[in-house]
């Protein structure tokens, strides 16, 4: 890659979960905060960052819908994945007690992952752009009735006090991130048993049972499909695109045969990435 910046873009403010994922996986790179997911994509496309760390799904909240629309249009490539257990801390201005709290601010997914503590205390949930942004807002406004749900790092960065730890509804709260790059990098196995993940999108032909026929090759070739999602294109119910993850490399004979069958029954097939699976994959 030419003109490297040594920066990795993420959506949110410093201290967000995406920021922590960047620091965990790429400790030698500088995280670049971006207001929106689209801005993070553009930062990589324009060369302002080398990579982007983007959340794609959560074990509790499900998929991050925006990403499935941005990925196919961006022409960026998935070059890695990262699984991160998510822990939320309830934080306030120093000295604030629970009975002073009236509103709890955070990203919409974070609020959904911490419903119990919000409901049990009768607090009003307020959606913020991201978790760390909520913490930053409270620090800037100085309003004692406001609390934030954010990672521990955000409390350190914005001078807030944690009054309840790990308040997520369940311990099995994990977010899967994908690492995006302008440059396509096809992963190669360093050992025979190393797990490779292939991600692709496809549009089936408008014929009866097209999806069933298109996917038949994965079953007959023993390919494990770990994700299959559909979403509409252009606001039309008849225009559907599918997103899929499989375990295997396109050079593997079974995967090669399955993709050939997929292409026969599809109008378009595009591989978004071939990358090494994270150690937590399959263990959740």
Catalytically active residues, by annotation: 175, 177
Question: What distance in Å separates the CA atoms of residue 31 and residue 13, rounded to the nearest whole number?
Answer: 10
Provide the phi-psi class of 95: left if phi over 0, else alpha when psi is between -120 and 50, else beta.
left
Question: What distance in Å separates the CA atoms of residue 72 and residue 77, rounded to the nearest whole number?
Answer: 9
Residue 186 main-chain phi, psi, to 5 deg:
-90, 115
Instruction: Specify the DSSP class assigned to residue 267.
Output: E
Question: What distance in Å separates the CA atoms of residue 59 and residue 174, rounded to the nearest whole number?
Answer: 6
Q: Distances from the Cα of 241 to the Cαs of 157, 231, 233, in angstroms?
A: 41, 6, 7
Residue 121 main-chain phi, psi, to 5 deg:
-100, 0
């Amino acid at each position: 890659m030419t003109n490297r910046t040594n920066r990795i873009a993420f959506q949110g403010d410093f201290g967000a979960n995406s920021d922590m994922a960047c620091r965990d996986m790429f400790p030698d790179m500088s995280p670049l905060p971006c207001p929106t997911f689209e801005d993070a994509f553009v930062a990589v496309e324009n060369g302002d960052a080398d990579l982007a760390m983007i959340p794609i799904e959560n074990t509790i909240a499900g998929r991050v819908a925006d990403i499935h629309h941005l990925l196919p249009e961006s022409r960026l490539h998935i070059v890695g994945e990262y699984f991160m257990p998510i822990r939320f801390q309830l934080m306030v201005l120093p000295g604030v007690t629970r009975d002073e709290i009236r509103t709890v601010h955070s990203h919409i997914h974070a609020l959904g992952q911490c419903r119990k503590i919000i409901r049990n205390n009768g607090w009003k949930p307020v959606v913020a752009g991201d978790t760390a942004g909520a913490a930053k807002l409270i620090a800037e406004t100085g309003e004692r009735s406001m609390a934030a749900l954010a990672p521990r790092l955000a409390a350190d960065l914005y001078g807030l006090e944690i009054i309840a730890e790990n308040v997520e509804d369940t311990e099995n709260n994990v977010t899967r991130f994908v690492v995006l790059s302008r440059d396509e990098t096809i992963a190669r196995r360093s050992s025979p048993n190393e797990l490779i993940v292939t991600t692709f999108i496809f549009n089936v032909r408008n014929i009866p049972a097209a999806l069933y026929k298109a996917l038949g090759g994965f079953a007959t070739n023993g390919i494990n499909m770990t994700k299959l999602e559909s979403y509409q294109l252009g606001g039309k119910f008849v225009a559907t695109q599918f997103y899929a993850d499989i375990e295997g490399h396109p050079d593997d004979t079974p995967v090669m045969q399955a993709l050939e069958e997929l292409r026969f029954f599809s109008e378009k097939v595009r591989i978004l990435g071939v990358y090494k699976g994270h150690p937590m994959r399959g263990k959740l």
